[in-house]
Amino acid sequence: MLSKSRYSWLVIWLTIVLLSASCANKKKSVRTKDINKPLRVVYQAVEYALTGAIKKKSVNRRVYFSKYHQPGKDLAKRPGGKLKRAQVIISVLGGQRPYEVEVRYRIEKYEKGRFKLSRYDKRLAQKYLDLVDEYLASRRDGVDMIDGFRPY
């Protein structure tokens, strides 16, 4: 039988473990929300973030994949004979405005004759999300709005 002090320590320890497990961030990506720009401008922002390194796009242009490159380096830096490679995956979410942009930075490691997922890097994903946000911030609001004209 457990004494009262041991029982209370056990309850405190279990509470701490459960709280830390529930508070841990398990997301593999970073997101920006409430983009009220036209979808065409959001696509341009994604292409700006992946300048010259787009490997492929989904059929509906909602998911963009970068070319493989050395982790943490410029997108133009090919992995070559390295045992690690990285890829940026940018997704445009939402059926209508406001849109969301999600960025994942996938790092793979070469094991047993093929590349396997090693981890996702949120810090590097944030770098590419910042490039998308930078492009969207530089875009003037209301450029595509016909209501901005004064008829008289």
Written as one letter, the residue type at 138 is S
Question: Does the reported pTM lie above 0.85?
Answer: no
In tens digits, what is the pLDDT along the chain, a chain of 152 residues? Answer: 556 666 666 666 666 655 554 444 456 788 888 888 889 999 999 999 998 889 999 999 999 999 999 998 888 888 877 899 999 999 999 988 889 999 999 999 999 999 999 999 999 999 999 999 999 998 776 555 544 455 55
Separate counts of helices (H) and strands (E) for the chain: 3, 6
What does DSSP assign to residue 69? Answer: B
